[in-house]
Homo-oligomer: A and B are copies of this chain.
């Protein structure tokens, strides 16, 4: 046992040694049945995948792209990367093919593991230069994932990765409209999971329902891996469906859930809410946005405590936590820092202030952006992660998000950067200029609205504008509504005045 004990490859390997026969994972098979993997089984499959990747020429430091639905293969792929020191690059299946191509190219991924349901997105990805290994989960024109595992030699012993070695690159869009890959290290994963463990108290009887997509870092580091550190069981769903969720919670005796406000609202508003046995659930983690008090109370009445949090990809992601006993008393707040997360509110001079930008330090903060030294230096200036969010800190140290320095809105848990959408809109032949804002949306929290100025004499309706975007952007980035106007308000230097746009066009649909 000569590890840096923060090595992520150690976790699953060690659990398999200690509790080989405990169930690590339950995944859906078809509509109504499920398959369980013990820690020993999951570890063996991981060792096989690590062997298959190695046999294909993938080595420490190489990037392995993943375009997968939630499933055991995703967990195997991440742990196989950890085991050989390779770098996982989880890609969002909500993105458009052009976006995925950019990420594959930018990361220099030489391996791709994808699910057959995403074949249409794979497109030309497989022909990229330098790709050495490509496996399809299910059937398709590429080598089968299961065949590869069957034929592989087991790579039993995990590589001793250093705390500072990169384990994964998660892409985030940005205010410049160009996605950047946040490099998260083994240490980032370790310490951010410890934050959860110290705050939530996981134990080996934990049964955690995971419905959020695993291409987000929150899919891993809010509940999933913490549960596996403690030897509990992860119950995976491909995606969120309220009826299925209710069935699973009672049939699988779920003890903890992770979700976003939209999900919790949909559950509470569902006709099965009252009749479903929720008594096994002790805690519900929630990220993305603060929960409204009436919703918190409805869950409390059912014995379910909310643990709310605030984070961002670049912080792996856990920064702030609002513990259950504060969910009503401090409603609307994002929370106070986790044990191993240093979070400050500073003014423009970098001095602690009651209101200002939220900056983050500590062992969860990313190593930097992949191949982007300038963006890294800017975002991590002075050794602090600059979140771009404006917060207010109260006398008990609780931070509330009041605004964003970054122009961004969150729709159904997904960050949308208007700059990225505006760039696409500007490419439409009929458009002179366009702005995008987030507007309140009952179901998704926020949704996008494009404010478009058409060229003199040109014609285009909302449908056409949306279709144009849909060809080039992930669906969740396509503005849910489009309004037309004559001119956009700008300040004397030409900067768009989004505040005025929001006042004029920001009403809910």
B336→A18 contact, CB < 8 A: yes
Contact B363 A397, beta carbon cutoff 8 Å: no
Q: Which residues of B contact A191 (CB under 8 A)?
A: 5
Identify A397's interface contact among B14, B17, B206, CB under 8 A: B17
CB contacts (< 8 Å) of A361 on chain B: these are 1
Number of copies: 2
Digit string of A329-341 for contact with B (CB within 8 Å is 1, else 0)? 0000000110110
Q: A199 — which chain B residues lie within 8 A by C-beta?
A: 203-204
Which residue of chain B has the shortest Cβ distance to A231 in the bound complex?
B198
A118 interface residue, CB < 8 Å from B? Answer: no
Q: Mark A8-30, 1 if CB is under 8 A from B, else 0.
A: 00000011011000000000000
Chain B residues lying within 8 Å of A5, measured Cβ to Cβ, are 191, 340, 363
- Chain B residues whose C-beta falls within 8 Å of the C-beta of A482 in the assembled complex: none
Contact B342 A204 (CB under 8 A): no
Q: Is residue A143 within 8 Å, beta carbon to beta carbon, of the partner chain?
A: no
Instruction: List residues of chain B with CB within 8 A of the CB of A18.
Output: 336-337, 339, 397
* Complex interface residues of chain A between 1 and 52 (CB less than 8 A to chain B): 1, 5, 14-15, 17-18
Number of interface residues of A (CB under 8 A): 30
A17 proximity list for chain B (CB < 8 A): 397
Bound-state CA distance A17–B339 (Å) is 9
A380-412 interface code vs B (CB 8 A; 1 in, 0 out): 000000000000000001000000000000000
**Structural contact, A202 and B201, CB atoms closer than 8 A:** yes
Is B230 touching A14 in the complex (CB atoms < 8 A)?
Answer: no
Contact mask for chain A residues 263-294; partner B; CB cutoff 8 A; 1 contact, 0 none: 00000000000000000000000000000000
A200 at the interface (CB under 8 A from B): yes
Determine the distance from Cα of A14 to Cα of B195 in the docked complex, in whole angstroms.
12
Q: Nearest-CB distance from A14 to chain B (Å)? A: 6
Q: Which of B15, B197, B206, B362 contacts A197 (CB 8 A)?
A: B197
- Please report the C-alpha to C-alpha distance between residue A278 and residue B231 in the assembled complex, in whole angstroms: 28
